[in-house]
Amino acid sequence: MKNHFKKTIWIWIPLIFGMLSLAACNNNDDVVSPNPNLVEGVDTSFISPKFDFESKFVTVNGQRLHYIDEAGQGDYTFVLIHGLPTWSYLWRNVVPHLKNRGRVVAIDLIGHGKSAKPAMDYTISNIADFAVQQLNQLNLGDNIILVLQDWGGPVGFEYARQNPNKVKGMVFFETLFAPVPSFDVFPPDFAQFQQFIRTGTEGDNTPGSSWDMMVNQQFLLEVLVPDLILRKLSEEEMNQYRTPFANVAERKVMWQLPQEVPVGGDPAQAQVFFESLQAFMTTTQIPKYMPHGNPGFNVSNDDYEFWTTILPNSTHEIVGPGLHFLQEGSPHTLGIAIKKWVDKF
């Protein structure tokens, strides 16, 4: 509380002096902004843990799916799609920046966040199908900018593949759009992880099994999420990610979805799904922007460089230091970078 009070004081002191200077000036054009941390009305001096948005829901195939829908200033509709094991909370500090350019919608994929978590088959094609049907109910218009990360990438790419005339731009990072030929292309540790999670069986609670590690121990949530952000999340923030998965019976997606990376043709259904995405992404002229952190995690700077050679009308940019969850580590940098890219249209 003391640190928060001190931080608040130091934010307000320059603001007060700035207001006094403003009163003393006869020519408003000569006044310098009293708070240099304000960027189009968004305070970039801190990362808020609060999720101050109204929750909304639609029903798809009998399942209640969550989203937020924020009105903004501008003609675009930004659609933000998270990955595993996060939810729309991940975008909370990016949303205010994008509202300066239009409406902002952020969805929770089925099995995540405040959306339903039924006992279903959590293949990437099933998850994408629910999301596409959800988005089709939201009257998004035909001036859509997709903002995608992690498993939100293939989900959003599938929406764009089905609605190419509605999508005016795609922003994505730390994601995947094509099958992987073999485990050899992965770093050794990640290759070992991918092989390990494919050896287990659903419901096997044997200590050390893949189900035990991913479901009971919540490896992705308790280890990878905090380790892949270049700052320490507060307990309040961590609890926002833990709460949706409080019930162990609703964590199946944590075990199954990571296995949906198609490696050497397996799983077959995922292979087919990603082959269709690859064909679309390597031919569509929809503008593509890849803002990313340095050094990144799943995707390196060299990977992005290569992607710009195979993805038409694409560009990438290091927007600052970051690993996998740039939305938590550098949300303001990310939001500002996306606005600048959109302003070039």
Same domain, 31 and 118: no
Catalytic residue among 108, 174, 237, 260: 174
343 — pLDDT class (breaks 50, 70, 90): very high
Is residue 278 domain-shared with residue 324, that is, in the same domain? yes
Residues 170 and 293 in one domain: yes
Distances (CA, A) of 243 to 109, 113, 237, 250: 15, 8, 10, 11
Taking a C-beta distance cutoff of 8 angstroms, is the pair 248, 215 a contact? yes
Residue 8 shares a structural domain with residue 137 = no
pLDDT at 280 exceeding the cut of 50: yes
Domain assignment present for 80: yes
Q: Do 31 and 168 belong to one domain?
A: no
Highest mean pLDDT among 13-22, 182-191, 193-202, 278-287: 278-287
- Answer yes or no: is 45 within a domain: no
Q: Pull the structure tokens for residue 328.
A: 């938590």
Query: How far from chain centre, in Å, is Cα 227?
Result: 16
Structural domains in the chain (count): 2
**103 and 144 part of one domain:** yes
pLDDT band with cut points at 50, 70 and 90 for residue 34: low
Per residue in 286-328, pLDDT (tens digit) is: 999 999 999 999 999 999 999 999 999 999 999 999 999 999 9
Q: Which amino acid is at 146?
A: L
Across 150-201, where does the E strand assignment appear? 167-173
Residue 315 vs residue 35, higher pLDDT: 315
How far apart are the C-alpha atoms of 318 and 105, rounded to whole Å?
Answer: 25
| 155 & 59 share domain | yes
Whether 60 and 27 map to the same domain: the answer is no
155 and 263 co-located in one domain: yes
Task: Say if residue 7 is in the same domain as residue 156.
Answer: no
Mean pLDDT of all residues in 34-41: 86
Confidence label for 152 from pLDDT (cuts 50, 70 and 90): very high
Reported as a pLDDT band with limits 50, 70 and 90, residue 36 is confident
pLDDT band at 168 (very low <50, low <70, confident <90, very high): very high
In the predicted model, is pLDDT for residue 7 greater than 80? no
Which of the following is catalytic: 150, 158, 260, 328? 150
Question: In this structure, are 10 and 143 located in the same domain?
Answer: no
Does residue 193 form part of some domain?
Answer: no
174 catalytic per annotation:
yes
Contacts of residue 192, defined as CB under 8 A and 6 or more positions apart, other chains included, come to none
Band the pLDDT of 137: cuts 50, 70, 90: very high
Reported as a single tens digit per residue, the pLDDT across 72-128 is 999 999 999 999 999 999 999 999 999 999 999 999 999 999 999 999 999 999 999
The pLDDT value recorded for residue 71 is: 98
**Residue-range definition of the domain harbouring residue 17:** 2-36
Q: Give the chain's mean pLDDT.
A: 91
Same domain? For 282 and 330 the reply is yes
Of 82, 97, 292, 324, the catalytic one is 324
The reported pTM is: 0.90
- Which residue, among 180, 193, 207, 185, has the nearest Cα to 275 in the 3D structure? 180
Residue corresponding to tokens 């923030």:
237
